[in-house]
Homo-oligomer: A and B are copies of this chain.
């Protein structure tokens, strides 16, 4: 058999030239249009939630960046058949006219990718992807109104994506009067399915309220019901600052590229200016360790591959302080506790905040909170018109019932993650933790069983999501480790609470027991010692006191 003999080609076989002629560029919009599940638009119910989520996250980011306390209105209208209109309106700073079309009509376009600081959006895809999905399923462009403070009129645009070119198509554009002083309103028509339950717009908004206690969100459900998530804090979280990458975790190839692109004229200046946590002292240590061919005055552009490789090694072996953490803004222990207490009532709450850490040069920080014990069924309440409503239905999905696996509330940069739980670093860390040590039921490799909710927040200048739909955090070892440590901290406090609760329980039972039998002992003593009734009662009372004291010590 001669492998190199191609005389037996099948009739339809192609030559290298025919194959070459078929090669073409693929537009990023075409790619994601065909792979819309990568962006979170795989099923109609998920698509509806994803669209709301993308619009709300954009609104929150814009408000915070402009220093405005967010007030967001979300509306869902059923149009016909499975077709819906999603409207999200914010009090943000508005969008300058020239940018509107590209922000809503082009994938991979945005302001957050090229800087290292914490934000909800990262990749400039979410809202234009939602628009593209609407375009695909209903065939109508996005409708946008946006007004900048001080401008007399708002801009109104209808925008779709030219998917073959990943470019916005503007269908109509005009200026109009709008009663908002500033803000943006986006309206998308799309195929969808409105559902209640653990994967619902309500649960998403409720989780979002826990992580964003400074935002007010008003949701108008399809049945006309208005659900308000009021802010509990009238203060914005501190603004995250932009930082440079940390030298740990910078890959050799990236270092070489940075050396060739830097405006710095000396190696020392390069190290100090292009990285965080490197001062002159650390810079000197790195350079000394990198070998004799490099000095503080070496010109970055003239550093050869071998020297760059030595420099890369030297960085890994030099002690460099942890990155500045003001590029990350955790929710904060008190705010987390307040948020949890407000949105889900439980018997016991605890929070742990880990110090900032680094993966691949990116600072990140983990917060963990636990809510244990579920009050009895929240029950029903009457509204003003005398109708009975089940109370707090969304909470039901946040704390597990007895004998159910613990509910996970996963967050990344204050955004609730609702899907792909099994592939998330947070789930993996929960599963890897030995909860039996803290008094819970758990089969190996599974989520523990308890009436409990575990909240984990991963905040980072760049969250590594497992897909563009941003539904799960990729399990980088450094991130897994920090989550595990946070879970352990909370687990120890939970164990303490459970032990104490069990002690109280036992003591209560013992007390009941003694109270039941003490009169009988009294009667027995009376018979044996021939006591009067008074003597008997006094003995019983003293006995009770003594036993009571002995239990207390």
Once the chains are docked, how many angstroms separate the CA of A480 from the CA of B155? Answer: 46
**Are B95 and A16 in touch, CB under 8 angstroms?**
yes
- Selecting from A6-14, A328-336, A349-357, A389-397, the interface stretch reads A6-14
Residue A377 at the chain B interface, CB threshold 8 Å? no
Once the chains are docked, how many angstroms separate the CA of A308 from the CA of B137? Answer: 12
Residue A468 at the chain B interface, CB threshold 8 Å? yes
**Are A136 and B24 in touch, CB under 8 angstroms?**
no
Residue A34 at the chain B interface, CB threshold 8 Å? yes
Residue A226 at the chain B interface, CB threshold 8 Å? no
Could you tell me how many residues of chain A have their Cβ less than 8 Å away from some Cβ of chain B? 95
Residue A512 at the chain B interface, CB threshold 8 Å? no
A134: nearest chain-B partner, CB-CB: B253
**Are A22 and B252 in touch, CB under 8 angstroms?**
no
Residue A191 at the chain B interface, CB threshold 8 Å? yes
Residue A244 at the chain B interface, CB threshold 8 Å? no
Q: Which of B31, B234, B464 contacts A113 (CB 8 A)?
A: B31
**Are B467 and A135 in touch, CB under 8 angstroms?**
no
A28: nearest chain-B partner, CB-CB: B28
Residue A3 at the chain B interface, CB threshold 8 Å? yes
**Are A139 and B308 in touch, CB under 8 angstroms?**
yes
Residue A123 at the chain B interface, CB threshold 8 Å? yes
Contacts of A202 in B (CB 8 A): none
**Are A114 and B234 in touch, CB under 8 angstroms?**
no
**Are A22 and B111 in touch, CB under 8 angstroms?**
yes
Once the chains are docked, how many angstroms separate the CA of A37 from the CA of B474? Answer: 8
What is the total number of copies of this protein in its complex? 2
Residue A102 at the chain B interface, CB threshold 8 Å? yes
Residue A20 at the chain B interface, CB threshold 8 Å? yes
In the complex, what's the smallest C-beta–C-beta distance from A241 to chain B, in angstroms? 8
Once the chains are docked, how many angstroms separate the CA of A91 from the CA of B399? Answer: 59
Contacts of A25 in B (CB 8 A): 106, 108-109
Residue A466 at the chain B interface, CB threshold 8 Å? yes
A466: nearest chain-B partner, CB-CB: B467
Residue A138 at the chain B interface, CB threshold 8 Å? yes
Digitize A449-491: 1 where CB-to-B-CB distance is under 8 Å, 0 elsewhere: 0000000000000101111100000101100000000000000
Once the chains are docked, how many angstroms separate the CA of A402 from the CA of B251? Answer: 43
Q: Which of B10, B135, B216, B256 contacts A139 (CB 8 A)?
A: B256
Residue A19 at the chain B interface, CB threshold 8 Å? yes
Residue A535 at the chain B interface, CB threshold 8 Å? no
> Which of A6, A12, A17 has most B Cβ within 10 Å?
A6
Known interface pairs A139-B253, A256-B139. Does A148 touch B66 (Cβ–Cβ under 8 Å)?
A: no
Contacts of A140 in B (CB 8 A): 253, 305
**Are A16 and B148 in touch, CB under 8 angstroms?**
yes
Q: Which of B3, B8, B24 contacts A67 (CB 8 A)?
A: B8
Residue A320 at the chain B interface, CB threshold 8 Å? no
**Are A26 and B124 in touch, CB under 8 angstroms?**
yes
Contacts of A65 in B (CB 8 A): 13-14, 19
Residue A418 at the chain B interface, CB threshold 8 Å? no
Residue A268 at the chain B interface, CB threshold 8 Å? no
Known interface pairs A66-B13, A138-B252. Does A114 touch B1 (Cβ–Cβ under 8 Å)?
A: no
A239: nearest chain-B partner, CB-CB: B12
Residue A403 at the chain B interface, CB threshold 8 Å? no
**Are B103 and A137 in touch, CB under 8 angstroms?**
no
**Are A182 and B13 in touch, CB under 8 angstroms?**
no
Residue A213 at the chain B interface, CB threshold 8 Å? no
Q: Which of B3, B20, B239, B477 contacts A69 (CB 8 A)?
A: B3
A6: nearest chain-B partner, CB-CB: B68
Contacts of A432 in B (CB 8 A): none
**Are A16 and B476 in touch, CB under 8 angstroms?**
no
Contacts of A23 in B (CB 8 A): 99, 102-103, 109-111
Contacts of A465 in B (CB 8 A): 35
Once the chains are docked, how many angstroms separate the CA of A111 from the CA of B21? Answer: 8
Residue A441 at the chain B interface, CB threshold 8 Å? no
Chain A residues 99-124 with CB under 8 Å of chain B are 99, 102-103, 106, 108-111, 113-115, 123-124
In the complex, what's the smallest C-beta–C-beta distance from A45 to chain B, in angstroms? 12
**Are A253 and B138 in touch, CB under 8 angstroms?**
yes
18 contacts between A and B (CB under 8 A): A1-B234, A3-B216, A4-B181, A6-B149, A19-B65, A24-B109, A26-B108, A26-B110, A26-B124, A28-B28, A31-B108, A31-B113, A35-B464, A38-B468, A137-B253, A139-B256, A140-B305, A420-B423
A residues adjacent to B (C-beta < 8 A): 1, 3-4, 6, 8-10, 12-17, 19-20, 22-28, 30-31, 34-35, 37-38, 42-43, 62, 65-69, 71, 91, 93-96, 98-99, 102-103, 106, 108-111, 113-115, 123-124, 134-140, 148-149, 180-182, 191, 216, 234, 236, 239, 241, 251-257, 305, 308, 420, 422-423, 462, 464-468, 474, 476-477
Known: A19-B95, A24-B111. 4 other contacts (CB 8 A): A17-B148, A35-B465, A134-B253, A138-B253
